[in-house]
Structure 1
Amino acid sequence: MNPELKAPPLVRRMACWLYEGLLMFGVVFIAGYLFGSLSQTRNAMDNRHALQAFLFVVFGIYFVWLWSKGQTLAMKTWGITVVDRSGHPITQARALLRYVLSWLWFLPALAAIAPFTLSGSESVVIVLGWVAVWGILSRFHPQQQFWHDALAGTRLVSTPCRSGQTR
């Protein structure tokens, strides 16, 4: 492991995640419009599962392509780069593994609420509660990295500024 590559603080990683969510709104809008136009969907509930699968693939392409290049736009903004354990850029295969494992942020909570008929607000509380727990669990990792990164063999590091200092 390269000692000069320091992990960004948790607050900066979470701020990057929030910004990424805002950017993903645009990706969802364009992909949803494309899907609706190509499938001639007139009602939002028609083809709902096909749209969800399509968005899963679109997100996968977006993240795998950009992570294999080192950064998404939000990561560039916050000075964060994804690398492998030795500090080298990740391959597309490792980026794909990281993408699949990143769904651990949501899938356990979604699977837990699936058998029950909960209101929307109850479901949101459970999912956001799990996201908070999953984020807090990163504090227990020896390098304080997110667990999907540890499992995928990747890590987030601070990107050096042009002056050579880290942010």
Structure 2
Amino acid sequence: MRISSPSIDYLAGALHLASFLFAWLTLNCFSQAMHVHRMILVTYRSILEIMQKNSSDFPSASFMRRIFSMVYEVLLLAAVLFLASFIFISLTHDTQSVLMKPIFRGYLLMVCGVYFIWFWVNGGQTLAMKTWRLRLTSKNDSALTIKQAVLRFISAFFGICFFGVGILWALFDADKQFLHDRIAGTKIIQM
């Protein structure tokens, strides 16, 4: 079967139009992708500039800002502990027996420790601290070590358990730092 000349012209025109549309869409998508890429680079560079500043360039966080951050942290931590409890109860089906009660409490304390220590070591900010634009650094403006983060968590735990003495310490401290910050050699700055 032979295709007539008008049909070939029509088919060639359709293929030409399709190739033009494909090229236009490809270039348009490429242009938009390049625009998004440029926006990401600008954002990355501005974040990098902020991260390269010394923490001494930033002021210390106020007492009330840290308290509000802690209240928000409690809400976020409640969600994390709810999920961790669900997993524990799903696996053990018991949290009330004499044996399981201390194991369950230790497990929840361990989950809290992993949550805080991981965020403090990896960037110096928990989710609530990011929201309130706070960052935890060591006294010499460097990132926290795991040893400092563990020491801060343990001393914060005991400072809060003993009637909040670790928090109230900041009201009388010369630099307005919490007791666990003094013990661990850390400070909270406002970004």
Output the amino acid matched with 2:135: T
Q: State the identity %.
A: 30
Q: How many residues align?
A: 135
One-letter amino acid of the structure 1 residue matched with residue 188 of structure 2: L
**Residue 94 of structure 1: how far off its partner (Å):** 1.1
* SS across alignment from 1:144: coil
Indicate how the Cα distance of structure 1 residues 59 and 90 shifts in structure 2: closer, same or farther if over 3 A, else same. same
- Amino acid of the residue matched to residue 177 of structure 2? Q
| Residue equivalent to 2:174 | 142
Kindly state the Cα deviation for residue 88 of structure 1 after the two structures are TM-superposed.
Answer: 1.2
Other-structure match for 1:105: 159
Output the aligned Cα RMSD.
1.6
CA distance in 1, matches of 2:55, 2:125: 18
Contact kept? 1:82, 1:154, Cα under 8 Å: yes
TM-score for both structures, normalised by structure 2: 0.66
Q: Does 1:37 align with 2:90?
A: yes
Distance 1:147 1:134 in 2: 5
Query: What is residue 113 of structure 1 aligned with on the other side?
Result: none
1:17 aligns with 2:49: no
Q: Work out whether residues 168 and 178 of structure 2, in 8 Å CA contact, stay in contact via their aligned partners in 1.
A: no
CA distance in 2, matches of 1:156, 1:137: 14
Higher relative contact order (CA 8 A, sep 6+): 1
In the alignment, residue 71 of structure 1 is paired with which amino acid?
Answer: Q
1:83–1:157 contact (8 Å) kept in structure 2: yes
Q: Which residue of 2 aligns with 1:72?
A: 126
Q: Residue type of the partner of 1:143? A: D
- Counterpart of 1:77, as a letter, is T
Letter of the 1:37 partner, please give it.
S
Q: Letter of the 2:59 partner, please give it.
A: K
Q: Separation in 2 of the partners of 1:106 and 1:8? A: 19
CA contact (8 A) 2:117 2:146 kept: yes
Question: Unaligned stretches of 5+ in structure 1?
Answer: 109-129, 160-167
The normalised TM-score by structure 1 is 0.75
User: Any conservation in 2 of the 1:104–1:148 contact (CA below 8 Å)?
Assistant: no
**Native 8 Å contact 2:156 2:166 kept in 1:** no
Richer in helix (by share):
2
Structure number with greater Rg is 2
